[in-house]
Chain A
């Protein structure tokens, strides 16, 4: 069993949804029940694999890749089929495995117009392949392929099943993301040619069990941090800039965020849920997994700018929320703000900040996914998401109203729920960023970000007040369509709610998993504490300002 998981587990998890989709293609469109069952069965099978992967995961070695498969794929471009799972990817993979079956259950009885469950479910399964694939790929070309695979299904999901303005929103989403990923690809290729495999030590090769001839260049993400060490600082900045665009648009960071509110508002409920819960994480994951480990020196130079855009995103997203009149659009803008916290955590380049960021990704996925589910259910009952027309949800559908209240509390970062552990440590990490990153600047960011949490509480509570409290508006007062949550809704929501509480109370469930992997992914020079240690590691004194290490500021930080 374990041997089977080691060699086939991840590949099965990635490609099983495709197999399910292929089978569904052969079944006639009219057999809707069969399609639903097939899709659910497939996604449950993937989830079972996920559980097996989780239970067999060696948490003592979560800093290392496990279940690694390394096979020849496209030898002419030295690209290989390498997949693996470590502490950073594990929670995200599980999130992708969890969200899809929940979405299938949620849409069971109400597929958005124009109905057609067959195509809708097939697209969902293809999305799952792309998402899981991106999180396990350890080869840049393979990662790029999976990163792009999610585009098409999401484009069609918005374009076909979306709201009134779907044509515009779908194309905007597609073009924005492709623009970023095209430049990202150029960066990847330049990186490929500039990084020399000759710089990789024999120990590293032995550690990853590489017994084949690498050639002069490699796309292997495990080896690139070492291979790219020789790249000139100025070139590294450009390479990082290309990846920054690709991942930053996906996150989305201010000022590349404009596709997100449109896409979210127009997408069908399930589309929004998947988009918020998993797709946005592909961007932040790219920073954590690829950009920062491979180009740490460029990351140090870029960090203040990433941090700046992150805090602008926090404030801008919050102000945007306050101005929204549409519930779904408001949640979309709150995504911009929350992803700002994640990016701030990443920009500190400390293991503390990045751990917080990974936690933030998972928490945002659970909470915002939940909020989009609720928005969809509200839309289904009231046929509008205009906040001014809503009200009194607690009167008409009390259980749903309470769940909305709970999710809102989680989203604003109430301690004891998952949202808190994403935001608070990220803010805290900004107090003491990594070596070479300007401390004063980040402490300013910290203050601004902290103000952002107040704004977040403001807009979220205001949302709750306007939609859930009070009495229903006259037009909906006697509407018989407005009923409380149904069984499929409970089934779809319960796991999310449970996880929000569980992670809120035991954040260590996640931190324990991610910590080793985060530490392993960061360049040691970013966290050295003494000049002698820095010299030993051969850190670049210009970048890592080892001379400053003895100053009181750092000493104070260590105590604080």
Chain B
């Protein structure tokens, strides 16, 4: 077999297609170099540099979007299509907002700054790669690239025991999840003989495929990513990690990292296992229903707002998983489900980051995340109170704030195929929206109606970076609610053209 010497052929690289990743890589490198060369003198500039650096890859993304052609590289392992572009934009946007949230938090806390932004950039790079990955190995590399910096970031308050606990728990759970995921991937590779998702789908859909191993492989892969998105019953790390980690990092985990997990699940389901809806549909139905119900019920009992946001995030993950339970019914259902989830991810990112921005701002005064410390916020910080109300009610899905449309889209996707599973899950979701409102409105009520504890009316100082993050998220939350077209025009994507992405198309594109 090895008689002929293996000739290395340099793969054709479409530089335009990988420009966002390269830009981000350069940004990460510059951040590290600034630290090495300028030492303490660079501290003042590194946050601004990181912020701009995370926005810079938007330029190639926009040019790619204008160009509009789907590009496929490395034998179909790396694809740049509408789905990849919009999810990349979500990651970069969330990353930018997280930097805005971090600037004063990290500087005031006297934590390492340069490394912090470097790690954020490399984690975002992992996410951006994930969006384009269409191959088991690329997906795994992307997952680790985004996770390992996140483990470090969670322990950033290193003099605080809770932060150490947060990081360690996150790390151990994350590594365990990776192991489960890898085992599932190895099973799938064993059955199908390929790491490319398109080939896996073809092999899995073949009639003579061995049932037990495939089922096990799919379940393990889904379970591995379910840790990442903190779906019930793989959520146990989330509340502790969220509470202990620095709040901007919590925001990062709850939005960007979760979105990356979702992107991975979407890729696996729509490109890798689409033909095996008999396996993944019941699994997703259970994960969705259990996550939203358990998350909401546990959120009701929380006294710490960050823990509450953790459980609310578990419930929101349940909402987003729901359309996957019917995605296999028809290609139309699949497209509707995918668009609904991507829409939800985009809107969720904005409103959740907004809520964390308020949490960070309020903690600047109260030094606490206790829900009771939100009493009377309206009296001494009306602006923050209105903003928090907007974000909480958007999360609850009250029109005309962004979240309502996200939920409506999920409902539509669920009801569309007309199957009893979908309609029942829509009913479960409707009931859960009511439970969720109880705790969101509970906070709103404390903010507006309760007296200020100890009559302490000192104002909250909101630094410019945080203020701009608040302004951006609030305006966009409202905009998405009143003109949902602003988001649906870009989230109307499909992943079901996988067959067209085979070698031939790839080569044809490379030649042309």
Name A's B-contacting residues (CB within 8 A): 29, 73-77, 119, 141, 144-146, 148-149, 151-152, 155-156, 159-160, 162, 166-167, 170-171, 174-175, 178-179, 182-183, 185-186, 189-190, 192-194
Q: Is B79's beta carbon under 8 Å from chain A?
A: no
Top 4 A-B pairs ranked by shortest CB distance? Answer: A182-B430, A145-B399, A76-B488, A159-B449
A77 to B483: give the CA distance in the assembly, Å: 12
Q: Which of A148, A159, A167 contacts B399 (CB 8 A)?
A: A148
Q: A141-B408, A167-B449, A178-B434 are in contact. List 14 more A-B contacts (CB 8 A).
A: A75-B485, A76-B409, A76-B485, A145-B400, A159-B444, A174-B441, A178-B433, A182-B433, A182-B434, A185-B408, A186-B415, A186-B426, A189-B408, A193-B416
Interface residues of B (CB under 8 A from A): 339, 378, 382, 389, 393, 398-400, 404-405, 408-409, 411-412, 415-416, 418, 423, 426-427, 430-431, 433-434, 437-438, 441-442, 444-445, 448-449, 484-485, 488, 492
- In the bound assembly, the distance between CA atoms of A460 and B134 in angstroms comes to 73
Chain B residues positioned under 8 Å from A162 (CB to CB): 449
Q: Is the CB of A156 within 8 A of B448?
A: yes
CB neighbours of A155 from chain B (8 A): 441, 444
Decide: A171 and B445 in contact? CB cutoff 8 A: yes
Known: A74-B485, A151-B398, A167-B449. Contact between A189 and B412, CB under 8 A?
yes
User: How far in angstroms is the closest Cβ of chain B from A16?
Assistant: 16
User: What separation, in Å, do the CA atoms of A192 and B426 have in the docked complex?
Assistant: 14
List, in ascending order, chain A residues with CB within 8 A of B382's CB.
29, 119
**Does A193 contact B418, Cβ atoms closer than 8 Å?**
yes
User: B399 — which chain A residues lie within 8 A by C-beta?
Assistant: 144-146, 148-149
The answer to whether A74 touches B448, judged by C-beta atoms less than 8 angstroms apart, is: no
Docked Cα-Cα span, A179 to B441, in Å, equals: 14
Min CB–CB distance B297 → chain A (angstroms): 15
Question: What are 23 A-to-B residue pairs whose CB atoms are below 8 Å?
Answer: A29-B382, A73-B485, A75-B485, A75-B488, A77-B484, A119-B378, A144-B399, A146-B399, A156-B444, A159-B444, A160-B378, A160-B448, A162-B449, A166-B449, A167-B445, A171-B441, A171-B445, A182-B431, A182-B433, A185-B408, A186-B426, A189-B426, A194-B418
Partner pick for B430 among A145, A167, A174, A185, CB 8 A cutoff: A185
Complex Cα distance, B411 from A156, in Å, reads: 28
CA distance A423 to B488 in the complex (A): 48
Q: Which residues on A sit within 8 Å (CB–CB) of B430?
A: 182-183, 185-186
Q: Which of B418, B427, B485 sits near A186, CB closer than 8 Å?
A: B427
CB distance from B397 to the nearest CB of A (A): 9
Question: Across the interface, do A74 and B426 meet the contact criterion of CB distance under 8 Å?
Answer: no
CA distance A192 to B492 in the complex (A): 20
Asked if A175 and B426 make an inter-chain contact with CB atoms under 8 angstroms apart, the answer reads no
A19 to chain B, nearest CB (A): 14
Instruction: Give which listed residue, B405, B408, B434, contacts A179 with CB less than 8 A.
Output: B434
Q: Is the CB of A148 within 8 A of B434?
A: no
Complex alpha-carbon distance, A456 and B382, angstroms:
45
Whole-angstrom CA separation of A166 from B398 in the bound complex? 21
Chain A residue at smallest Cβ distance from B396: A178
Is B445 within 8 A of A170, CB to CB? yes
Query: Which residues of B are found within 8 Å of A167, using beta-carbon distances?
Result: 445, 449
CB distance from A147 to the nearest CB of B (A): 8
User: How many Å from the CB of A115 to the closest CB on chain B?
Assistant: 11
Measured between beta carbons, the chain A residues less than 8 angstroms from B423 are: 186, 190
Interface hub of B411, B438, B492 (most chain A Cβ within 10 A): B411
Complex Cα spacing A192 to B437, Å:
26
Distance between Cα atoms of A48 and B361 in the complex (Å): 43
Contacts of B408 in A (CB 8 A): 77, 141, 185, 189
- The residue on B at minimum CB distance from A238 is B423
Which of B393, B415, B488 has a CB less than 8 Å from the CB of A193? B415
B445 touches A175 (CB 8 A): no
Q: Measured between C-beta atoms, what is the minimum distance from A32 to chain B in Å?
A: 15
Residue of B with least CB distance to A155: B441
* CB-based nearest A residue for B393: A152
Q: State the Cβ distance, B442 to closest chain A Cβ, in Å.
A: 7
Chain B residue nearest to A189 (CB atoms) is: B415
CA distance A160 to B442 in the complex (A): 13
Q: Determine whether the beta carbon of A178 is less than 8 Å from that of B449.
A: no
CA distance A150 to B416 in the complex (A): 28
CA distance A132 to B45 in the complex (A): 52
Residues of A within 8 A of B389 (CB): 152
Residues of chain A with a CB closer than 8 A to B393's CB: 152
Bound-state CA distance A151–B396 (Å) is 12
A419 to chain B, nearest CB (A): 34
Q: Assess whether A149 is in contact with B441, with CB atoms less than 8 Å apart.
A: no
Q: How far is the CB of B8 from chain A (nearest CB, A)?
A: 47
The answer on a CB contact under 8 Å between B448 and A152 is: no
A151 to B404, CA, bound (A): 13
Q: Report whether A190 and B415 are in contact in the complex, using a CB–CB cutoff of 8 Å.
A: yes
Query: Which residues of the partner chain A approach B492 to less than 8 Å between Cβ atoms?
Result: 76
Task: Let me know if A77 and B441 touch, CB within 8 A.
Answer: no
Cα(A190)–Cα(B427), bound, Å:
11
Nearest CB of A to B322, in Å: 13
Given A29-B382, A190-B423, verify A160-B488 contact (CB < 8 Å).
no
Q: Which residues of A contact B448 (CB under 8 A)?
A: 156, 159-160
Least distance between B46 CB and chain A CB atoms (Å): 36
- B residues near A146, Cβ cutoff 8 Å: 399
Q: Within the complex, what minimum Cβ distance (angstroms) separates B435 from chain A?
A: 9
A332 to B221, CA, bound (A): 57
Chain B's nearest CB lies how many Å from the CB of A11?
A: 13
Q: Which residues of B contact A141 (CB under 8 A)?
A: 408
CB distance from B164 to the nearest CB of A (A): 38
Q: Roughly how many angstroms separate A192 CA and B423 CA in the complex, as a whole number?
A: 13
Nearest opposing residue in chain B for A158, CB measure:
B449
Residue from B411, B431, B485 in contact with A185 in the complex, judged by beta carbons closer than 8 Å: B411
Determine the residue in chain B with the shortest Cβ distance to A183.
Answer: B430
Q: Min CB distance, A330 to chain B, in Å?
A: 26
Whether B418 pairs with A152 at a CB distance below 8 angstroms is no
Most B CB within 10 A of own CB, among A167, A183, A186? A186
Minimal beta-carbon separation of A78 from chain B (angstroms):
10
With the chains together, A521 CA to B70 CA distance in Å? 50
Residues in B whose Cβ lies below 8 Å from that of A77: 408-409, 412, 484, 488
Alpha-carbon gap, A29 to B411, bound state (A): 40
Measured CB to CB, the nearest residue on chain A to B433 is A182
CB of A161, distance to nearest CB on chain B (Å): 9
B400 touching A74, Cβ below 8 Å:
no
A178–B436 CA distance with the chains assembled, in angstroms: 11
- B507 CB to closest chain A CB (Å) equals 35
CB-based contact A175/B485 at 8 Å: no
Nearest-neighbour CB distance to chain B for A273, whole angstroms, equals 20
Chain B residues near A166 (CB, 8 Å)? 449
CA distance A186 to B425 in the complex (A): 11
| Given contact pairs A171-B445, A179-B434, A152 touches B412 in the complex (Cβ within 8 A) | no
Docked CA distance A156–B418 (Å): 38
Chain B minimum-CB-distance residue to A145:
B399
Question: Given the complex of chains A and B, what is the CA–CA distance between A175 and B435 in angstroms?
Answer: 8
B404 x A145 contact (CB < 8 A)? yes
Residues of A within 8 A of B412 (CB): 77, 189, 192
Residues of A within 8 A of B442 (CB): 171
- Nearest chain B CB to A490's CB is how many angstroms away? 32
Least Cβ–Cβ distance between A227 and chain B, in angstroms = 16
- Which residues of the other chain, B, contact A73 by a CB distance below 8 angstroms? 485
Bound: A149/B434 CA distance, A: 16
Given contacts A76-B339, A186-B411, contact A148 B404 (CB under 8 A): yes
Min CB distance B434 to A, Å, is: 5
Cβ distance A351 to chain B, nearest Cβ, rounded Å? 33
Q: In the docked arrangement, what's the CA distance between A525 and B399, Å?
A: 37
CA distance A167 to B441 in the complex (A): 10
Most chain A CB within a 10 A radius of its CB, from B339, B434, B484: B434
With a cutoff of 8 Å between Cβ atoms, the chain B residues found around residue A179 in the complex are 431, 434
Q: How far is the CA of A101 from the CA of B187 in the complex (A)?
A: 70
Which residue of B400, B411, B416, B437 is within 8 Å of A178 (Cβ)?
B437
A162, B339: Cα distance in complex, Å: 42
Docked complex Cα distance between A144 and B488 (Å): 19
